Amino acid sequence: MGCFECCIKCLGGVPYASLVATILCFCGVALFCGCGHVALTGTLTILENHFSKITADHAMLTDIIQLMQYVIYGIASFFFLYGIILLAEGFYTTSAVKELHSEFKTTVCGRCISGMFVFLTYILGIAWLGVFGFSAVPVFLFYNMWSTCAAMRSPMANLTSIDSICVDVRQYGIIPWNATPGKACGSTLGDICNTSEFYLSYHLYIVACAGAGATVIALLIYMMATTYNFAVLKFKSREDCCTKF
């Protein structure tokens, strides 16, 4: 067998679906975790400087944001390892599928591990759908504030007094109702929209939401690849049992 034929045979055993899913998963998780971490810090800065001047009013929110940032560290570490394990499992199952009509033998342990990864990937896919929906919430809140500021600056708007236009973050449950000032109106609101913290956090939340969506797509590809390979391995095991008699 020549070098070219050997390379073609090696490339035939590459799990391209798992490889694409792994790259997409790494990129999506990196965007979600990195951008989400920085955006949470910027959000806390905006609240402390403009909406809640008393530290005790947003102490619980500060603890929640810090907890979410620690969770982000855990998510990044877990999916880095999980992606590598799924890629390795993809190489194993793809090799078994490619050698369906040869002497390659599957074991009960290998099939059980493949089935476990199928189940776990389905659970993670459902969980990331929730994460994707949750990551869209801050995008919606920041978009409301940005659109309000854009409406005030628009020359088409016929406004008698811009001070009557306000954004009250207390209505979203982010800070308690007794927080002061709790809302921003008129020129103060415009100044908030012009800050670097607002601009950066808003766009980082959008990128984090896109990263969560990419991770959901990656997990869907994992689901299809692992389910197909597991089904073929199960079929192969039944065929092996039948040929023994």
What digits encode the pLDDT tens for the residues 185-225?
Answer: 888 888 888 888 889 999 999 999 999 999 999 999 888 88
Model confidence, pTM: 0.82
Q: 153-187: buried (b, 16+ CB within 10 Å) or exposed (e) per residue?
A: eeeeeeeeebeebebebbeeebbeeebeebbbbee
User: What tokens were used for 34?
Assistant: 């990195």
* 53 neighbors 180 (Cβ within 8 angstroms): yes
| Rounded CA separation 103/16 (Å) | 23
| Rounded CA separation 133/118 (Å) | 23
End-to-end Cα, the chain, rounded Å: 35
- The SS3 call for residue 130 is helix
Taking alpha carbons only, the member of 123, 135, 151, 179 closest to residue 35 is 135
Task: State the pLDDT confidence band at 149, using cuts at 50, 70 and 90.
Answer: confident
Q: What is each CA distance from 113 to 3, 66, 168, 221, 234, in whole angstroms? A: 34, 36, 51, 18, 12
pLDDT tens digit sequence for 83-101: 888 888 777 766 555 554 4
Percentage of the chain with pLDDT > 90? 25
**Partner residues linked to 167 by β-bridges:** 184
- The SS3 call for residue 231 is helix
